[in-house]
């Protein structure tokens, strides 16, 4: 199984600060043995410049992801950037459906579904985010909530495409940026459930191959415990990805898992 640790910077870091952070991560990776794939998702305006910097990096490289892309193709859509534009700028991955996009920027399930389709059609790796709010967890309805998000966004994807370019991130909303983390057991239970849905959508051979990342206050002190879950194949890291030492420690925890 592939393992992935991805850093979601959100709207943080100026361009030079981000470049320093990527340099520090790349230098750290050269000293760490391991197979975890490492991704960072900086603010969109820096992506093309970072993509050309990164062409000269060493063996264990840092890949770039965008934090969103347009649901549409090219056209008169002021302010939008398409999945193909990302690819043409040297970016090969995109995060879609993050709860902050859904909650603050009106991304409904149909919009998320279109964005996932656009990303995959442009040959990007899509890191699809799902996860329930606190009220839903309190009512014990989290599985139904996450299942609906998965089925709505992923039902039209061909198994071969899912096998090669789909990654799922489970991010319970109540754990994002709150310091509160799902317990290792809560994370594994949900990841195992997500795996059953992926098996149902794509066939069990393919479902077993799709990495499922945990996100929500994952940090050096809890990463090893979270990554010990059989269906926890890495993390999507917010706050702790803004500091090279913390991010490298989380990557090391994934390598060791």
Tell me which residues touch ligand PGA (CB under 6 A).
Answer: 8, 171, 176-177, 215-218, 236-240
CA angle 185, 34, 42 (to 5 degrees): 80
Report the Cα 171 to chain-centroid distance in Å: 9
Which residues, other chains included, contact 159 with Cβ-Cβ below 8 Å and sequence gap of 6+? 202, 203, 206
Q: Which C-beta is closer to ligand PGA: that of 85 or that of 130?
A: 130
Catalytic residue among 37, 84, 98, 107: 98
Is-catalytic flag, 57?
A: no
User: What is Dmax (Cα atoms) for the chain?
Assistant: 50
- Find, among 3, 92, 2, 109, the residue nearest to 47 by Cα: 92
Q: How far apart are CA 138 and CA 31, in angstroms?
A: 43
Residue 90, SS3?
coil
Q: Which C-beta is closer to ligand PGA: that of 40 or that of 240?
A: 240
Q: Which C-beta is closer to ligand PGA: that of 65 or that of 218?
A: 218
Is-catalytic flag, 171?
A: yes
Please report how close the Cβ of residue 56 comes to ligand PGA at its closest, in angstroms. 28
Please report how close the Cβ of residue 157 comes to ligand PGA at its closest, in angstroms. 22
Q: How far apart are CA 197 and CA 58, in angstroms?
A: 37
Q: Which C-beta is closer to ligand PGA: that of 216 or that of 229?
A: 216
Please report how close the Cβ of residue 169 comes to ligand PGA at its closest, in angstroms. 7
Q: How far apart are CA 147 and CA 256, in angstroms?
A: 30
Q: Which C-beta is closer to ligand PGA: that of 71 or that of 237?
A: 237
Report the Cα 198 to chain-centroid distance in Å: 16
Q: How far apart are CA 156 and CA 79, in angstroms?
A: 27
Please report how close the Cβ of residue 215 comes to ligand PGA at its closest, in angstroms. 4
Catalytic residue among 100, 142, 171, 191: 171
Please report how close the Cβ of residue 59 comes to ligand PGA at its closest, in angstroms. 27
- Find, among 191, 129, 117, the residue nearest to 158 by Cα: 117
Task: Specify whether the CB–CB gap between 94 and 66 falls below 8 A.
Answer: yes
Please identify the residue of the shown chain whose CB is closest to the bound ligand PGA.
238
Task: Please give the positions annotated as active site.
Answer: 98, 171
């Amino acid at each position: 199984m592939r393992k992935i640790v991805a850093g979601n910077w959100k709207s943080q870091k100026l361009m030079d600060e981000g470049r320093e952070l990527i340099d520090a991560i790349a230098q750290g990776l050269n000293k760490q043995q391991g197979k975890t794939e490492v991704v960072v998702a900086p603010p969109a305006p820096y992506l093309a410049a970072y993509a050309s910097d990164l062409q000269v990096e060493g063996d264990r490289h840092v890949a770039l992801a965008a934090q969103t892309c347009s649901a549409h193709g090219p056209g008169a859509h002021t302010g939008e950037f398409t999945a193909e534009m990302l690819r043409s700028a040297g970016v090969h991955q995109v995060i879609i459906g993050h709860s902050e996009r859904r909650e603050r920027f009106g991304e409904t399930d149909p919009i998320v579904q279109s964005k996932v389709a656009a990303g995959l059609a442009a040959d990007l790796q899509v890191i699809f985010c799902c996860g329930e709010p606190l009220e839903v967890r309190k009512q014990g309805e989290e599985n139904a909530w996450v299942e609906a998000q998965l089925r709505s966004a992923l039902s039209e994807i061909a198994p071969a495409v899912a096998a090669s370019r789909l990654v799922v991130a489970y991010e319970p909303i109540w754990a994002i940026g709150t310091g509160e983390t799902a317990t290792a057991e809560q994370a594994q239970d949900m990841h195992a459930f997500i795996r059953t849905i992926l098996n149902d959508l794509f066939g069990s051979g393919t479902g077993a191959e799709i990495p499922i990342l945990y996100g929500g206050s994952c940090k050096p002190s809890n990463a090893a415990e979270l990554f010990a879950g059989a269906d926890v194949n890495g993390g999507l890291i917010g706050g702790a990805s803004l500091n090279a030492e913390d991010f490298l420690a989380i990557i090391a925890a994934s390598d060791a898992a």
